[in-house]
């Protein structure tokens, strides 16, 4: 749900293995997570304490201790974008899907291009795992944070799962 425009907005940064992350939220939840380079929104107040739970869960994710996020999220988007972003949250940790499969999942099997556009506008990278969407042929495709970061995130999740099960996790062609 989008926040009320009168709510104060907070921001902080978090160092991570994929670069500095900019976290932006308000009393309704996390509004965005951006990879460098990004600047805080005008009028937002620097307040690491307001986003401490987000930072802690991300640190656990990057340490391989967290497979799912439990945070209030408040991204702003169109109804279609919100539907796609909700579906992204259902992609299991360490697994991938394609734009076409995601389109079918939301009941619009011919909308893979629109799903790709919504995926590209995801304001909550990592937490809403748009990095888990790959091309139909199994190759890495566009990612707002760059393909190197997308590759790192997918390989990180694969390593974590392999460490938990003791067996290598089958990877896509990436």
Residue 83 clears pLDDT 90, i.e. is over it = yes
Alpha helices in 24-78, H assignment, sequence order: 52-62
Average pLDDT over residues 133-146: 81
Residues 6+ apart with CB under 8 A from 170: none
What positions carry a catalytic annotation? 130
pLDDT of the residue at 74: 94
Local structure of residue 73 (DSSP, 8 states): B
Q: Which residues contact 137 (CB under 8 A, 6 or more apart)?
A: 173
Confidence of residue 174 (pLDDT cuts 50, 70, 90): very low
Residue 152 C-beta-side C-alpha neighbours within 13 Å: 13
Angstrom CA distances, 70 to 25, 30, 104, 110, 123, stand at 15, 11, 26, 31, 17
When pLDDT is cut at 50, 70 and 90, the band that residue 104 belongs to is very high
Q: What is the pLDDT of residues 7-20, one digit of tens each?
A: 789 999 999 999 99
The pTM assigned to this predicted structure is 0.87
Residue 166 — very low, low, confident or very high, per pLDDT cuts 50/70/90?
Answer: low
pLDDT at site 3 = 44
> Which domains does the chain show, CATH number per domain?
9-62 (3.30.160.70), 79-165 (1.10.10.10)
47 close to 89: Cβ distance less than 8 angstroms: no
Q: pLDDT band for 5, please (50, 70, 90 cuts).
A: low
Q: Burial of 88 by CB count in 10 Å (0-12 exposed, 13-18 middle, 19+ buried)?
A: buried
Q: What's the pLDDT score for residue 36?
A: 82
Q: Are 106 and 87 in contact (CB under 8 A)?
A: yes
Q: Which of the pair, 36 or 82, is modelled with greater confidence?
A: 82
pLDDT of residue 2: 41
Beta bridge partners of residue 14, listed in sequence order: 21
* pLDDT per residue as tens digits for the range 31-80: 999 988 889 999 999 999 999 999 999 999 999 999 999 999 999 999 99
């Amino acid at each position: 749900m989008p926040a009320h425009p009168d709510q104060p907005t907070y921001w902080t940064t978090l160092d991570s293995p994929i670069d500095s992350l900019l976290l932006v939220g308000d009393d309704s939840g996390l509004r965005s997570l951006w990879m460098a380079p990004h600047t805080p929104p005008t009028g937002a107040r620097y307040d690491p304490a307001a986003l401490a739970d987000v930072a802690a869960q991300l640190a656990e994710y990057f340490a391989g201790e967290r497979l799912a996020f439990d945070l209030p999220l408040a991204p702003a988007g169109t109804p279609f974008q919100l539907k796609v972003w909700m579906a992204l949250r259902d992609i299991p940790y360490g697994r991938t899907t394609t734009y076409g499969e995601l389109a079918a999942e939301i009941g619009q099997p011919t909308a893979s291009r629109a799903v790709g556009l919504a995926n590209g506008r995801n304001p909550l990278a990592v937490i809403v795992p748009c990095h888990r969407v790959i091309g139909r042929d199994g190759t890495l495709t566009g990612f707002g944070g760059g393909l190197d970061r997308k590759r790192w995130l997918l390989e990180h999740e694969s390593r974590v799962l392999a460490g938990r099960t003791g067996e290598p996790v089958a990877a896509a062609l990436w």
